[in-house]
Chain A
Amino acid sequence: QVQLQESGPGLVKPSETLSLICTVSGGSISDYYWTWIRQPPGKGLEWIGYIYYSGSTNYSPSLKSRVTILLDKSKNQFSLKLSSVTAADSAVYYCARATLWFGELLPMDVWGQGTTVTVSS
């Protein structure tokens, strides 16, 4: 049973870079799309982007200039970096898996528990 676990600082200063890691256990990182989603306090869900096992990425245009998602196959981990953060980036950040189903990419069947990141000085 694959499990995902987010880790990283819970507090980031404005203008700095938010960095999170998602560790994948109980399964292979191969052949899946690894995704980040966030949810500001009391608000809805926002898709940030994903990375495929091959290393190809797809980012939300609204965040593309500030986002980098990387994959570390040796550690079965993928990561999120969000630069130049402001208070608007405060949210619960989730990592999740997307899968191929008969050649079609289906979003997020397995999720991490989420980690809260607050942007404040």
Chain B
Amino acid sequence: DIQMTQSPSSLSASVGDRVSITCRASQAIGNDLGWYQQKPGKAPKRLIYAASSLQSGVPSRFSGSGSGTEFTLTISRLQPEDFATYYCLQHNTYPWTFGQGSKVEIK
């Protein structure tokens, strides 16, 4: 299985901050990566697909980059509603595998 390692596992940030989360794959996956946001008690919501394509309806402060083995999710100006846990997901090779999650908390 391809291992997806996210960093950091958690971070504290303030409203208005720029935040970046990294996802590293144990082998190259091209751009077959998505980013999801999950709030407590809710289903995940897709933010980014194909590594850098913004899901329709998702604010433009979210962006994704990377290819191969290293990927980044960036939130340009953190908003109160962005405090959540973020997961990457690779779909290059079966089984599809998620990162362990990165929790963004209020400082």
Listed in ascending order, the chain A residues whose CB lies under 8 Å from chain B are 44-47, 58, 60-62, 94, 96, 101, 104-109, 111-114
Please indicate the chain A residues that have their CB under 8 angstroms from the CB of B49 in the complex: 101, 106, 109
Chain B residues within 8 Å of chain A by Cβ, number: 23
Q: Which of A104, A108, A109 has the most CB of B within 10 A?
A: A108
Give CA–CA (A109, B91) in the complex, Å: 13
Which of B95, B98, B99 is packed against the most chain A CB atoms within 10 Å? B95
Contact with A along B96-107 (1 / 0, CB 8 A): 111111000000
A112-B43 Cα distance, complex, nearest whole Å: 7
Asked whether, in the complex, the Cβ of B50 is within 8 Å of the Cβ of A106, the reply is yes
B34 part of interface (Cβ distance < 8 Å): yes
Report B's interface with A, CB cutoff 8 A.
1, 32, 34, 36, 42-46, 49-50, 55, 87, 89, 91, 94-101
Query: Contact: A47 with B98, CB < 8 Å?
Result: yes
Contact present for A58 and B98 (CB under 8 Å)? no
User: Is B98 touching A44 in the complex (CB atoms < 8 A)?
Assistant: yes
- 13 additional A-B residue pairs with CB within 8 Å, beyond A47-B95, A101-B50, A104-B32: A44-B99, A44-B101, A45-B44, A45-B87, A47-B89, A47-B98, A94-B44, A101-B49, A104-B50, A106-B49, A106-B50, A108-B34, A108-B89
Q: A44-B87, A45-B44, A45-B87 are in contact. Are A106 and B34 (CB under 8 A)?
A: yes
Measured in the bound complex, the distance between the Cα atoms of B87 and A61 in whole Å is 21
User: B91, A111: Cβ atoms under 8 Å?
Assistant: no
A107 contacts B91, CB within 8 Å?
yes
Cα A109 to Cα B106 with chains together (Å): 27
Please give me the 7 A-B residue pairs with the lowest Cβ-Cβ distance, nearest first. A111-B43, A60-B95, A47-B96, A45-B98, A107-B91, A44-B100, A44-B101
B50: A residues at CB distance < 8 A:
101, 104, 106
Chain A's nearest CB lies how many Å from the CB of B23? 13
Residues of A within 8 A of B87 (CB): 44-45
Answer whether A107 and B95 are a contact pair too, CB < 8 Å, given A45-B44, A101-B49: no
